[in-house]
Amino acid sequence: MKKLDKKIRRIDTDRDKLRIKQKDSDSLKVEENVFDEPTLKNLYKLSRKNIIKEMGGAISTGKEANVFYALGPESELAVKIYRITTSTFKAMEAYITKDPRFQNIRHTKRDIVFAWTKKESQNLKRARNAGVRAPEPLGSEKNILIMEFLGEKEVPYPQLKNIALDREDAKRIFEKIVDYMQLLFTEANLIHADLSEYNIIIDPNNLEPIIIDMGQAVTQEHPNAREFLYRDVQNILRYFSRYGLKMSPEELLSKIQAK
């Protein structure tokens, strides 16, 4: 009992050090699941490195990860925290173990989640280097990825699925996404593998798309690469058909693979 008390007290002090806001019960519930002791330690490490100044509320609660708002020394941040006891861990393992970049990792749950977090950070960097607009990764620690906040004054930019567009803007955004898929494929050797209206953010200032959520992105060498690319193509065509855009998957595929 005493040991547990001590543990709780330690977590509470770590929380205080991070000045985690506990405004509503919703984000409290989230914190119970996500902010286990190792995660708190890693967050604290990031705050000692002066990457995180203050943790804010939850932006999103997903299947494998939660995204939080935070403040850095100079800018707003998004903090993506992968849960270590994630339910879809088996799927993660299949992506990771077939990726030639991650051949030497141990296959425990923790190690796979840590490798996954690193992989997302690397993929975001590769995408950006290829000219794709994606959030800038600013640091990672075990299961925590820190990135540029896509939004202003604590308000995140909308997902593509939550924004109404006229046909002209939709066409322009579609073409930009196709450009990005082509750059990802030919310049970064990456296939997003979960591309949809959920993982495309729209910058409301200029209606430009921003590609997010790249943990599962794979290189062309991955045995399922073609299948993943085809699925991405179909998702994008399905979504934009509501704006009257018509193109065959084959035509879009050849655009993406053109040098």
Ligand X SMILES: Nc1ncnc2c1ncn2[C@@H]1O[C@H](COP(=O)(O)OP(=O)(O)O)[C@@H](O)[C@H]1O
Q: Rule CB under 6 A: which residues touch ligand X?
A: 59-60, 62, 64-65, 67, 78, 80, 135, 147-151, 156, 159, 198-199, 212-213
Q: What six digits make up the tokens of 129?
A: 């280097």
31 binds, among ligand X, Mg ion, none (CB under 5 to 8 A by kind): none
Q: Percent helix, strand, coil in the chain (nearest 5)?
A: 45, 20, 35
Instruction: Please report how close the Cβ of residue 194 comes to ligand X at its closest, in angstroms.
Output: 8
Cα–Cα dist 16/166, whole Å: 47
Closest CA to 92 of 112, 106, 110: 112
Instruction: Please report how close the Cβ of residue 136 comes to ligand X at its closest, in angstroms.
Output: 9
For residues 188, 194, 196 and 200, what is the CA-based torsion angle, rounded to 10 degrees? Answer: -50
Q: What six digits make up the tokens of 224?
A: 């399922």
210 to 229, contacts with Mg ion by CB under 5 A? Answer: 213
Count of residues that bind Mg ion according to CB under 5 A? 2
**5 is annotated as an active-site residue:** no
What mask, x for binding Mg ion by CB under 5 A, covers residues 181 to 200?
A: ------------------x-
Q: Is 64 near Mg ion (CB under 5 A)?
A: no
Cβ(144)–Cβ(80) below 8 Å: yes
**179 is annotated as an active-site residue:** no
Instruction: By CB under 5 A, name the binding residues for Mg ion.
Output: 199, 213
